[in-house]
Structure 1
């Protein structure tokens, strides 16, 4: 019995190496980018798991026959991202450009063009994107240092491929096309529901602040006890030292507190104004704006990144209520205006932040009631969101399990579905 990457294949199946089943296995070429040109260049950013993202393609300046280009793409070419941690190994499938402009792969993308009489291109696409093969990519095919890794072409050519009879490959590809499309449709629906939940939560927050009986117009700076401040500009990481809080840590600051990276105490001392105290409101101010967390007691003395700001308020201000206000339309609209002229990623200035207008309840009792009411709303939305995220996770697991089972012959696709895939 033949096996591939630890999976036993049916007796009627064979196995081969990728280089023997392809007529082209090579990287594309470096484009000469222009605003508008005769050839579209497909990069790793455009080659997404959900399909080619044409909005991320750019144009290549070329005067000649595009079919002669190194990296010229033909319909049913399989595309493999070939550099960089996180994107390495991601697989796409080329079916032509929506505007019929000739396309090429850039030098970071490998083209696998199958011998169509031996390896069905869609079967190859599903095999190369399967979990066993993706794990093999990082375990055996990647070379180079962290974040500079790339696919070794010779090793990729030697990679194993299960080879069922060609007609069975077609049936498997058709089966997976139908089944994954159904799963992807459900996933898209769940994503849309998550977006609707987020919009509903924002609308409810807007209403809560707007309808507060003692709502009084003010500016954020009048709630501060000290001016807000950015953190460390260029961090240096060490095994021991001061815990260092970055933007992504704000997603679950208390849960990540024990696993934060550290910077030298000497470096932290140079940024003494941004040293964290319990109860500080930490917020992302570069790129993703408004992601926020309240500093727990366990992070007393920590420091923050340049992309994070620290806000400290007068004692009578409920920090939880300010954090909730950061989720309102009022905050996001003002943040959008304040960063509208930024040419790179949006960066919110501290003076602009302090001048943000808000309606703040002047009655302490109403503020405390509002905190309880908003907490109830957010807890409810969090439960619903968690449920949807869990469903998306299950869909992703089932999608991958189905692909693995089909491309290794663990299921007979001719009887696995009632969709009439053999017709």
Structure 2
């Protein structure tokens, strides 16, 4: 139950809010000065990245902003809503960031936790359903307003508990990365064993066939086919994350036709190692190769594992022919050396790797569920604390322990 002593106050009554600005971008004399100038790109929750841009005193004056003192709380309210951070060294900001100045009216350590929810409740939505905020909505927001002593207690409690939850989530993500690396290590071992006695060594172009000829994805026969692009494929695992049609993606430029079972490989940024097998007839982006193995030499399943292997990664990254955007061109792909075990040895290696990948995906699914639960509990904890639904001074089981208990019970 919410503590009846906690009233809410209009933000403009308890917060000193100022917003920065942007000087005309065509005036070079306004930029590259000595005043650090923050934009949304420089702001992540809890941290300020060293700003990429600076202003001159004239630029600051033209922006309508001010230099903010250390201890000021920043809140992003345009483009990316809800990022917060404390100013550590004097900076100015653009108009997408609201600055809450230190004052005796509110403890800013508490405000950092209370304001995102209060501002979100005051936000409107655009035609796409996304949250939007303006300065008037910020100032009209209702902020939970406990006594100052309790504000500090809440801030201390949330600082500690959320740090524990964040560390727990970081450990879970590390576990997911380790699961992927263990599978990669096993796959590498299986492929090494398979090729140890291989007598056939050739180049990839001799044993694969790459699709040619693009089609218009807006045509009726193609528009509702899945369109697979590099962003649909998980790096290094061969997993297809989702399917979206050409229509859903608004595709208009040429794409390749893909048959179910063909291998897809992203030629852009080969270090990401994005390859998968098409689960159905589809289209693929022009920055991907769609290919089939020549059946008398190798299987498509083995071809996929080769493309995901450390050995091929080393070749692809070394041979990438662009600096700004590394790319593996068709001729370079064709000249990749490949050792060919017997088809039976290929099948044995692939079967072992597939079993490991299934186990890995099950483990990562469990980890993803745990992360989702932790994030849900974190958000609920913040809301409960800042609205008085829990007494933060009472002894209770640490939130991370409660999350772990829930995960054990769910198994």
The interval holding the TM-score normalised by the smaller chain is: 0.7 to 0.9
Which whole-Å deviations, capped at 9, do the CAs of 1:195-222 have from their partners, x for residues lacking one?
Answer: 2222222222222222223345433222
Report the CA distance between 1:113 and its aligned residue: 2.8
Which whole-Å deviations, capped at 9, do the CAs of 1:332-389 have from their partners, x for residues lacking one?
Answer: 323322347422x43332322223333332x111011111111122222223222322
Matched, 1:221 2:205: yes
CA RMSD of the aligned region, Å? 3.7
Matched, 1:15 2:8: yes
Map of 1:347 onto structure 2: 327
Preserved CA contact (<8 Å) 2:72 2:99: yes
Number of residue equivalences: 386
Equivalent residue runs for 1:1-150 within 5 Å: 9-29=2-22, 38-49=34-45, 51-52=46-47, 54=49, 57-62=51-56, 70-84=65-79, 88-97=80-89, 102-113=90-101, 116-130=103-117, 133-134=119-120, 136=121, 140-143=123-126, 146=128, 150=132
Partners of 2:48 and 2:176 in 1: how far apart?
22
Equivalent residue runs for 1:21-420 within 5 Å: 21-29=14-22, 38-49=34-45, 51-52=46-47, 54=49, 57-62=51-56, 70-84=65-79, 88-97=80-89, 102-113=90-101, 116-130=103-117, 133-134=119-120, 136=121, 140-143=123-126, 146=128, 150-212=132-194, 213-215=196-198, 216-225=200-209, 227-228=210-211, 241-251=224-234, 256-257=242-243, 259-262=244-247, 271=255, 274-287=256-269, 289-296=272-279, 299-300=280-281, 302-316=282-296, 317-339=298-320, 341-343=322-324, 345-361=325-341, 363-417=342-396
Which whole-Å deviations, capped at 9, do the CAs of 1:212-244 have from their partners, x for residues lacking one?
Answer: 23345433222212x3559679x7699964432
The SS at the match of 1:303 is strand
The SS at the match of 1:275 is strand
Partners of 2:2 and 2:91 in 1: how far apart?
36
Q: Would the alpha carbon gap of residues 200 and 241 (structure 1) be closer, same or farther in structure 2, given more than 3 Å must change?
A: closer
The SS at the match of 1:74 is coil
Normalised TM-score (structure 1): 0.78
Partners of 1:155 and 1:346 in 2: how far apart?
45
Preserved CA contact (<8 Å) 2:385 2:392: yes
- Identify unmatched segments of 5+ residues in structure 2: 399-411
Preserved CA contact (<8 Å) 1:224 1:311: yes
Preserved CA contact (<8 Å) 1:281 1:294: yes
Which whole-Å deviations, capped at 9, do the CAs of 1:107-137 have from their partners, x for residues lacking one?
Answer: 33232335x322221222112334x754x36
Which whole-Å deviations, capped at 9, do the CAs of 1:81-106 have from their partners, x for residues lacking one?
Answer: 3333xxx2132211415xxxx32323
The SS at the match of 2:41 is coil
Which whole-Å deviations, capped at 9, do the CAs of 1:227-263 have from their partners, x for residues lacking one?
Answer: 3559679x76999644322333335987844x53428
Partners of 1:336 and 1:121 in 2: how far apart?
48
Which whole-Å deviations, capped at 9, do the CAs of 1:249-293 have from their partners, x for residues lacking one?
Answer: 335987844x5342899968x65xx11111111233335732222
Q: Would the alpha carbon gap of residues 107 and 133 (structure 1) be closer, same or farther in structure 2, given more than 3 Å must change?
A: closer
